[in-house]
Structure 1
Amino acid sequence: MKVKKYRASSMPEAMKKVRSDLGEQAILLQSKTVYTGGFLGFFKKKNIEVVAAVDPQIDRTPIKKEGQIPPAYIPQAPVLKEKHAVQADDGKLASEVSELKEMIKQLSRQTDRSLEAYPKEFHGVLLHLKTQEVSDALIHELAQTLMEKWKQEKGTADEERVRQWSRDWMQGKLQPYQPEEALFNKKYINIMGPTGVGKTTTLAKIAAMNVLEHKKKIAFITTDTYRIAAIEQLKIYANLLNVPVEVAYKAEDFRKAVDKFKEYDLIFIDTAGRNYRESSYINELEQIISFDESENYLVLSLTSKENDLEEIIENFSKVPIYRLIFTKLDETKTRGTLLNLIHKYNKGAAFITNGQNVPDDMMKADTVKITNLIFGDKYSE
């Protein structure tokens, strides 16, 4: 049996080489897509690599029917003589054929997402979103949307036009989760999240905004009794804003504090930032705070791995989360996580913080600002 390997830019071209070299009786043993070169997963050159064989002793002349796919395109196991069935080479060949069948199934489910499949005017924006760590699924969806618009414009759009289409698409993806409705619709504002994300500082920024801009009468309650520093930090902010603060060590303390502040407009609750993987953490919070009566905000750090952020959201899923708050924007250059999480969990962002200064380093999130951040454009404070 004669076995050879071929590489070409497409399957038809590869099969043309096979038939030219081995004849019409050649059979396909293996095929796979291979990429060479490229940058950051894009601009790679796509090739098809096939392994074909021919056995001169076997008559494979097909009976051609109208509309039948040429047999060279159909992977099939070679017909081996019985006396060869137990040989090692035959076992290897059978294994390769089995792998080939599985490969064909996988290839049939795959979509070519390389930039090579799209006009060069798309490359800049798609590569940018890739480096911003926007999910592959969303990038592919955008690329398909751009192709539809490209065809409508008969291929006359330039890169700037494509960029604007991309911005419009992103704002459209965000809009269902970023309604222009007022925040703080309930009296009790609960700020939650894992340790180290900047919950207390974020709470202070939001409280300062309500005191200084909206002239609200506010108070603090902290249930973070695990860290003395956290209590002292909140007391410092309370003194600067001239607002009261109560520490709740147990449910009874929390109820007394709520009753004490019943005449206030807003009560901000600072929760403990313990290990979010501990299921007991959420259960303990439920024993102190009534989540249904509060407006709950989950604080997430943009410097964390996206897989970890997904786990955090899922572990807090039993709490009715109203909005997300993203912190530490100033400590990372990649912002695709904003879009990925908002879209995946159908939860809008309320605020994005970009520094430690209270109350300055915080912006209210909306579709335009999030889009600008991901595209690297300037935004209005």
Structure 2
Amino acid sequence: MKVKKYLASSMSEAMKDIRQELGNDAVILSSKPVYSSGFLGLFRKRNIEVVAAIDPSEKHNPPIKKQKQKKMPAEKTVSAANPGAESEQADSGLKIHSPAPESEQAKSLPAGEILKELAQLREMVKGINYESANNDKKYPDPLQEIYKTMEKQEIDCHIRAEMMDALLTKWFSGHHDSPMDEITGWLKAELDAKISAVSDFGGSFEKKYINIVGPTGVGKTTTLAKIAAESILKQNKKVAFITTDTYRIAAIDQLQTYAKILNVPIEVAYNLVDFKNAAEKFSHYDLVFIDTAGRNFRNHEYVRDLQKIIDFEREMETYLVLSLTAKQRDMEEIFMQFSTIPIKQVIFTKADETASFGPMLNFIIKHRIGAAYITNGQDVPDDIEKASPRLITEIILGANKK
């Protein structure tokens, strides 16, 4: 494997140098903007650093031959990452930098070492701040549109960096004539694979007692009723309700109304003894859904109050409900507040009340926790879908917006 790093003033110039040196079959491993040190931090010049590779053992189209020119003095190129390091290419005139001193011996390295080095090169682009790259219109027009979509959806810059690195590799590996629909398909596949690698998705209840927790105003009671209705109507389950939400008078009335409509029994638990009695009463039911009080998530006493009322030692699964209208910082704080309780999955609500779904993706990937359901309205038993990597990808890219 022959690996080289190129420094050029633009991507097109870099691609020209790569074709001349490695040929048209070279593969782009990574690319990023780099800046010269300038004078006292001023007058910094922006360049593009591209890492390309080709396997000399395979047959490839020969590199583009350059016309012979008079031998000029060696051109010195200074790397922005290491201003003191200079490389001379007396005959080629190319601005080429070795990825590392060890890479000069890549031809003699074992295959495992080469693969390891390539993986390290790919890691180089993960921390790039793509905001500046976007302002400089770094990407070809179709990829620029993809970038703007991810930026508009408020997808984390590190995730955008990974996606754009994958798309650039595809683009410069002979797919630069692909239509926009196909390029969007690349992004769908990349996002789908990244989300799928996180955890399990979709509510599949493996235990009898299903606990629904979350802050006030996220729609816990309505969501509980939707899931219960699905369990009754589609799965023919025998269902019961327990509510510990005694802080709001209307909350008990609301769940009692749903219980009457669905024809299921309901018990109110004011303390741990009440809860244990209700749980025993419903022990022969398939699923027992537990509604909890919505409180200010910044109140540390809230979670401790839950542990005083609910018997978490039982055969129980807990789902955290988060509103997609909340700021990502609030989602993070809510999750941390409930971290003392084992959270199986999250349920995202109010998808119909926002146009920005990137925080959902950021949260899932950061905390490596799957989503059970996504709700998009108030109608019971409708307006709820089982979450999946494909559904989340389609929501983010707007494929299933009404």
CA distance in 2, matches of 1:141, 1:349: 22
Question: Alpha-carbon deviation of 1:68?
Answer: 8.1
Q: Does structure 2 conserve the Cα–Cα contact (< 8 Å) formed by 1:369 and 1:379? A: no
CA distance in 2, matches of 1:303, 1:112: 25
- Change in 2 beyond 3 A, CA 1:276/1:111: closer
- Change in 2 beyond 3 A, CA 1:74/1:29: farther
1:80 match: none
2:19 match: none
Matched, 1:31 2:37: no
2:151 match: 130
Q: Does structure 2 conserve the Cα–Cα contact (< 8 Å) formed by 1:178 and 1:348? A: yes
1:284 match: 305
Q: Does structure 2 conserve the Cα–Cα contact (< 8 Å) formed by 1:329 and 1:353? A: yes
Q: Does structure 2 conserve the Cα–Cα contact (< 8 Å) formed by 1:28 and 1:74? A: no
CA distance in 2, matches of 1:325, 1:213: 19
CA distance in 1, matches of 2:147, 2:223: 33
Question: Alpha-carbon deviation of 1:369?
Answer: 1.0
Q: Does structure 2 conserve the Cα–Cα contact (< 8 Å) formed by 1:178 and 1:366? A: no
* CA displacement, residues 280-324 of structure 1 (integer Å, 9 cap, x when unaligned): 111121122233531110001111111111110111111111111
* CA displacement, residues 229-251 of structure 1 (integer Å, 9 cap, x when unaligned): 00110000000011111110000
- Change in 2 beyond 3 A, CA 1:182/1:131: closer
Q: Which has the higher helix share?
A: 1
2:284 match: 263
- Change in 2 beyond 3 A, CA 1:222/1:212: same
Aligned length in residues: 295
Could you tell me which runs of 5 or more consecutive residues in structure 1 were left unpaired when the two chains were aligned: 1-8, 11-26, 35-45, 48-65, 76-108
1:361 match: 383
Q: Does structure 1 conserve the Cα–Cα contact (< 8 Å) formed by 2:199 and 2:368? A: no
1:165 match: 186
CA distance in 2, matches of 1:239, 1:343: 39
2:69 match: none
1:189 match: 210
CA distance in 2, matches of 1:140, 1:110: 7
Question: Alpha-carbon deviation of 1:30?
Answer: 3.3
CA distance in 2, matches of 1:251, 1:74: 67
1:307 match: 329
2:228 match: 207
Larger radius of gyration: 1
Identity %: 46
Question: Alpha-carbon deviation of 1:112?
Answer: 5.0
Q: Which amino acid aligns with 1:365?
A: A
1:336 match: 358
Q: Does structure 2 conserve the Cα–Cα contact (< 8 Å) formed by 1:190 and 1:269? A: yes
CA distance in 2, matches of 1:345, 1:182: 18
- Partner-residue secondary structure (3-state), 1:117: coil
Q: After the TM superposition, which of the residue ranges 279-288 and 215-224 deviates more from structure 2?
A: 279-288
Q: Does structure 1 conserve the Cα–Cα contact (< 8 Å) formed by 2:202 and 2:387? A: no
CA distance in 2, matches of 1:156, 1:318: 52
1:23 match: none
Question: Alpha-carbon deviation of 1:208?
Answer: 0.6
TM-score (norm 1): 0.71
User: 2:338 pairs with 316, 338, 343, which one?
Assistant: 316
Q: CA-atom RMSD, angstroms?
A: 2.9
Matched, 1:345 2:367: yes
Q: Does structure 2 conserve the Cα–Cα contact (< 8 Å) formed by 1:291 and 1:320? A: no
Question: Alpha-carbon deviation of 1:181?
Answer: 6.9
User: 2:347 pairs with 321, 325, 334, which one?
Assistant: 325
- Partner-residue secondary structure (3-state), 1:210: helix
- Partner-residue secondary structure (3-state), 1:138: helix
* CA displacement, residues 249-275 of structure 1 (integer Å, 9 cap, x when unaligned): 000000110111111111000011111
